[in-house]
Amino acid sequence: GQNIDQPTEMTATEGAIVQINCTYQTSGFNGLFWYQQHAGEAPTFLSYNVLDGLEEKGRFSSFLSRSKGYSYLLLKELQMKDSASYLCAVRDSNYQLIWGAGTKLIIKP
């Protein structure tokens, strides 16, 4: 079966750095997405990785290792508004998106 694993919950301090990991086992691979979802709201797109390496976008960076079936989302200079769930999703060989359950990130002052 296809599977995306992420930690259920993480806590970090305002101003710090946090890394949210995602491992996947899917039938084929056509890219990995990270989405942010605030409580009660819709997911919004953060990043897309299809090649190995690091993609940087402001305070957020996303890393991919296809050989290890592994990605992480790195959030720097954390702000209170970053408190949200972060969902990892992989596009499989049929171009379907396989979603993780998300990591709830709690930011403390």
Partner 1 sequence: DAMVIQNPRYQVTQFGKPVTLSCSQTLNHNVMYWYQQKSSQAPKLLFHYYDKDFNNEADTPDNFQSRRPNTSFCFLDIRSPGLGDTAMYLCATSRTGGAPDEQYFGPGTRLTVT
List of residues contacting partner 1 (CB under 8 A): 4, 8, 30-31, 33, 40-45, 48, 50, 87, 91, 95-97, 99-102, 104
Measured from the CB atom, is 17 or 106 closer to partner 1? 106
Q: Could you tell me the smallest distance in angstroms from the CB atom of residue 41 to partner 1?
A: 7
Kindly state the tokens that stand for 91. Answer: 């596009």
CA distance 72 to 74: 6
Task: Give the count of beta carbons closer than 10 Å to the beta carbon of residue 55.
Answer: 15
Q: Could you tell me the smallest distance in angstroms from the CB atom of residue 44 to partner 1?
A: 7
Measured from the CB atom, is 40 or 109 closer to partner 1? 40
Q: Could you tell me the smallest distance in angstroms from the CB atom of residue 48 to partner 1?
A: 6
Measured from the CB atom, is 69 or 100 closer to partner 1? 100
| Local structure of 58: helix, strand or coil | coil
- Pairing verdict, β 97-99 and 44-49: unpaired
Side-chain half-sphere exposure of 38, counting CA atoms within 13 A: 5
